[in-house]
Structure 1
Amino acid sequence: MRALVINCTLKPTPEPSNTEALAAVVVAELARRGATSDVVRAVDLQLTPGVESDMGGGDEWPAVHRKILESEILIIASPTWLGRPSSVAQRVLERMDAMLSETDDEGRPVAFNRVAGVVVTGNEDGAHHVISEINGALGDIGFTVPGQAWTYWHLGPGPGPDFLDDERGHDWSRSTGKAMAANLIGVAEALAARPLGAPPS
């Protein structure tokens, strides 16, 4: 089982990413359950605006697109800004729009039989809104989103410390992240055993 985490932080490498720190909890639990994960920090890449899988001219999305198709599990990790997903997360979802018209060798949408989840951090409220926006887009594209396939961390309304600066709430975020990983693995295994769109036996 392979997983891909697309970290949609606004911070380029090597700046510490609060979102990646929480996503690492999910990655560790996926590894404990036998899945290997790759993490991509989207802000480090040249992701040309558009809704095609390859916009040409140095566009680096095609390599990310290949990683998505090589994985059974996709996790979009985003900070909360102004109560919404980051601009980088929106760019990633716009690029994934092209997958709506892509099919596999059996004529199924390429996102079918893949599962997806969301990780959110932020020192302001709005995590559930961010989760619902991203999950809605992933469902539209064709991913299966299991129940409770998300985790988040924030300290309530208004400005405050970041995930890496404050231990409050970490226990809940970690336990929820572990449950998220278990649900992603369980549904991915079920889809592998009985794929969507497979001919009746």
Structure 2
Amino acid sequence: MTELSAVALICSLSPSPAPSSSDRMARHVLDQLALQGVTGSTVRIVDHNVLPGVQTDMGAGDDWPAIRAQILAADILVLSTPIWMGHPCSIAQRVVERLDAELSETDDVGRPTMYQKVGIVAVVGNEDGAHKTIADMLQALNDVGFSIPAQGGTYWVGEAMQTVDYQDLDGVPEKVAATTAGVARNAAHLARLLRDHPYPAG
């Protein structure tokens, strides 16, 4: 199999080393990607100083350029976010705002920088909003050039108005595990297709 790589941007509101459901979900996705021959790494965004803005580099103190370099080096982007008040959390929104800069960036043959990359989304929460959060994030990734595989999102949502988080579970629920495995298979398949058959230059 062609070697591929993935980077998971973990949009937890909790800095390391605090436990994080979004971190746990992202690592489960990476575990499934590893079974498809994809190496993976993680970045917990809140541990870095990602400045607000819509440019690739917002200047002194901005950690986004180094994170962007990891995205550019990877074939697959995993965006993992909690649901917060029914929406993607503020850190996930910051990430997609920074990715907006890619609309004006191109590769060496004139294609948008993210055209050859696959984007998938993982969501956790204990309230409604998983489908909407996945839809919002996948649309944002598609807007800036990522290709979305079939059924490109996975999620776990706990019982409403309760305190059990994904990180509290003893194991991965069967349906979540099956969905995550499918996301990984489809993402790796699409990434290999894009590597072997790139989008045409404009």
Name the TM tier (shorter chain).
over 0.9
Question: Counterpart in 1 of 2:91?
Answer: 88
CA contact (8 A) 1:153 1:169 kept: no
CA contact (8 A) 1:124 1:160 kept: no
Aligned Cα RMSD in Å? 1.4
Question: Counterpart in 1 of 2:56?
Answer: 53
Consecutive unaligned residues of structure 2, counting only runs of 5 or more, are none
If the length of structure 2 is used for normalisation, what is the TM-score? 0.95
Question: Counterpart in 2 of 1:67?
Answer: 70
Equivalent of 2:193, from 172, 190, 193? 190
Question: Counterpart in 1 of 2:147?
Answer: 144
Q: Identify if the C-alpha distance between structure 1 residues 46 and 194 changes in structure 2 by more than 3 Å, giving closer, same or farther.
A: same
Runs of 4+ in 1 over 6 A off after TM superposition: none
- State how 1:54-133 maps to structure 2 within 5 Å: 54-133=57-136
Matched, 1:20 2:23: yes
Deviation at 1:150, TM superposition (A): 1.2
Using the alignment, how far apart are the partners of 2:163 and 2:15 within structure 1? 22
Identity %: 42
Using the alignment, how far apart are the partners of 2:9 and 2:167 within structure 1? 19
Q: Identify if the C-alpha distance between structure 1 residues 169 and 71 changes in structure 2 by more than 3 Å, giving closer, same or farther.
A: closer
Using the alignment, how far apart are the partners of 1:153 and 1:110 within structure 2? 31
Deviation at 1:167, TM superposition (A): 4.7
> Number of matched residues?
199
Consecutive unaligned residues of structure 1, counting only runs of 5 or more, are none
Deviation at 1:155, TM superposition (A): 1.9
After superposition, what is the alpha-carbon deviation per residue over 1:137-157, rounded to whole angstroms, capped at 9, x for unaligned? 000001000111111001243
Using the alignment, how far apart are the partners of 1:54 and 1:170 within structure 2? 40
CA contact (8 A) 1:53 1:61 kept: yes
Using the alignment, how far apart are the partners of 1:50 and 1:26 within structure 2? 29
